[in-house]
Chain A
Amino acid sequence: MSLFSKLNLELRRRTHSVVPAEAMLLEPASAPGLNDLRERLDRWGQLWSAGKESPDTSAQELITERLTHWMRLCFGERMPTSLHGNGDPVSLSSSMPILTAFLGRRATRELSRRVLQGI
């Protein structure tokens, strides 16, 4: 049995075992965590469907660059341009349907997380 299998087994065992005593002490959701989450969601929400008129150009460029890279990997060199022939940059909202069809929901979610990494 590999190390990871053992670890995974241990995790599952813990999941189904009696909940540890400290886990029962529920604390209120932390304010810094919530504030950080709010900030990120605001930013990501703005960038999700932003095109040329995006207020944050550098972040939008980074997203376009990463998405184009992934779409090239998935569909080949000319696919991004054939999908966006009207000159609009590739955005998360416009590329999600094709990526979901090609990769499935879970992989697309992880891909969008990577595209938004550090933003």
Chain B
Amino acid sequence: MDASQARETTIQAYQLHASALSAYVRGLTRNEPLAQDAVQETFLRLFLTLMQGEDIKSTGAWLHRIAHHYISETLKSTTVRKAVSLDDAPEERLRDDRANPGSDRVSEWVESARLLLAPREWECVQLRAEGFDYTEIAEELAIRPGTVGALLHRATEKLRKRLRQRESPE
């Protein structure tokens, strides 16, 4: 979706859902400024999501979910002072100065992951990396969402173990 289409869709969604969403967030927060912020932020996120090319099936439900999440996160960050910022991303874990930088390193790692994982686990990881959620992966592979969770958990454990072995090869 290009920028003008995403803009138009967002504006239409605002005209259609903003009143109900405002009432919903006001009911949740009892705080007018926070409610206004939540509504604006929700529609800005809708625009960004559309720009990412994601297809939203039920816009109203999606908006309510995002607004709820935004309020919950905002209350969390104001309540819990020690909020963890995304700026604290574990840079040192992601960087491996010993390895070749750039795409060689990535493809080497991807290849080793493919060999390490069972075919079903690998399929799940690939779909997850493409941005699919558990339900979408389950539909794609014709399995239950719970099985997707189990497969991804197993795959993550294997990859973690391999990373630890690489970091301390004893």
Interface of A is mostly: helix
Residues of B close to A28: CB separation below 8 A: 19
Contact A48 B51 (CB under 8 A): yes
Residues 55-97 of chain B: 1 if any A CB is under 8 Å from the residue's CB, otherwise 0? 0000000000000100110011001100000100101001110
Residues of B close to A96: CB separation below 8 A: 51-53
Shortest Cβ distance from residue B126 to the other chain A in the assembled complex, whole angstroms: 9
The number of inter-chain residue pairs (CB within 8 angstroms) is 143
Residues 81-110 of chain A: 1 if any B CB is under 8 Å from the residue's CB, otherwise 0? 010000000001100100011101100111
Q: What's the tally of chain B residues with a CB closer than 8 Å to chain A?
A: 54
Q: What's the tally of chain A residues with a CB closer than 8 Å to chain B?
A: 56
Subset of 22 A-B contacts with CB under 8 Å: A3-B80, A4-B76, A7-B75, A11-B68, A11-B72, A15-B28, A20-B27, A22-B27, A23-B23, A23-B27, A29-B18, A41-B44, A48-B3, A74-B94, A79-B101, A96-B51, A102-B129, A104-B129, A105-B49, A105-B52, A109-B48, A114-B86
Question: Using a CB–CB distance below 8 Å, which chain A residues touch chain B?
Answer: 3-4, 7-8, 11, 14-15, 19-20, 22-30, 33-34, 36-38, 40-42, 44-46, 48-49, 72-79, 82, 92-93, 96, 100-102, 104-105, 108-114, 116
Question: Using a CB–CB distance below 8 Å, which chain B residues touch chain A?
Answer: 3-4, 6-7, 10-11, 14-15, 18-20, 22-24, 26-28, 36, 39-41, 43-45, 47-49, 51-54, 68, 71-72, 75-76, 79-80, 86, 89, 91, 94-96, 101-103, 105-106, 128-131, 133
